[in-house]
């Protein structure tokens, strides 16, 4: 399975997505991406890769202070059609037909995804971990949109 070898603006698909707690205690989405083309400055457009490349994106959904990372949430909502309400919905979604742009940058000698725009592999989150992550998400999200909040506003403004 070839990996991404250089920074760039790639196009591809999210083949799988799960959630976990980051090393800093934040809620993060972990998305496996298959990339099929990269932006070529000379062509001023996308150039097909010789073979599909793979990379994993770690997308922080809550900040260190526990607040929702609104820019990341809104971006995933737009890209995937996710409501932004529950992590279970994010993990259970089928994003195989949602083409995305994946921005890969060099971060101290390591290639890392800095952003995934417009976007399902990975091990599914187990129920115990999901319950803990849902609790962190609900606290960061002010309890709005949690699975047991029937009065939650279905519309989350951008």
Q: What long-range pairs does 63-69 form, CB within 8 A, spacing at least 24?
A: 63/26, 63/140, 64/24, 64/25, 64/26, 66/136, 66/139, 66/140, 67/140, 68/137, 68/140, 68/141, 69/26
Domains of the chain in start order, with CATH, are 8-138 (2.40.50)
In order along its 158 residues, the chain shows pLDDT tens digits of 788 888 988 999 999 999 999 999 999 999 999 999 998 878 878 888 999 999 999 999 999 999 999 888 888 888 888 889 999 999 999 888 888 888 899 999 999 998 787 633 344 566 777 888 888 888 898 876 655 555 555 555 54
Q: Which two tokens stand for residue 26?
A: 């934040």
Task: Please tell me the pTM assigned to this model.
Answer: 0.70
Scanning the structure block, which residue is given the tokens 């952003």?
A: 115
Q: What is the DSSP letter of 68?
A: B
Q: What is the DSSP letter of 78?
A: H
């Amino acid at each position: 399975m070839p990996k991404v070898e250089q920074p760039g603006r790639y196009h591809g698909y999210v083949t799988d997505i799960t959630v976990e707690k980051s090393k800093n205690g934040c809620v993060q989405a972990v998305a496996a991406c298959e990339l099929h083309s990269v932006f070529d400055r000379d062509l001023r457009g996308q150039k097909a890769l010789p073979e599909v490349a793979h990379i994993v994106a770690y997308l922080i959904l809550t900040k260190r202070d526990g607040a929702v990372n609104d820019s990341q949430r809104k971006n995933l909502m737009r890209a995937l059609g996710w409501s932004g309400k529950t992590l279970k919905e994010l993990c259970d979604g089928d994003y195989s037909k949602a083409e995305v742009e994946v921005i890969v940058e060099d971060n101290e000698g390591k290639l890392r995804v800095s952003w995934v725009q417009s976007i399902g592999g990975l091990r599914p989150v187990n129920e115990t971990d999901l319950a803990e992550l849902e609790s962190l998400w609900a606290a960061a999200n002010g309890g709005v949109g949690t699975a047991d909040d029937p009065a939650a506003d279905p519309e989350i403004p951008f």
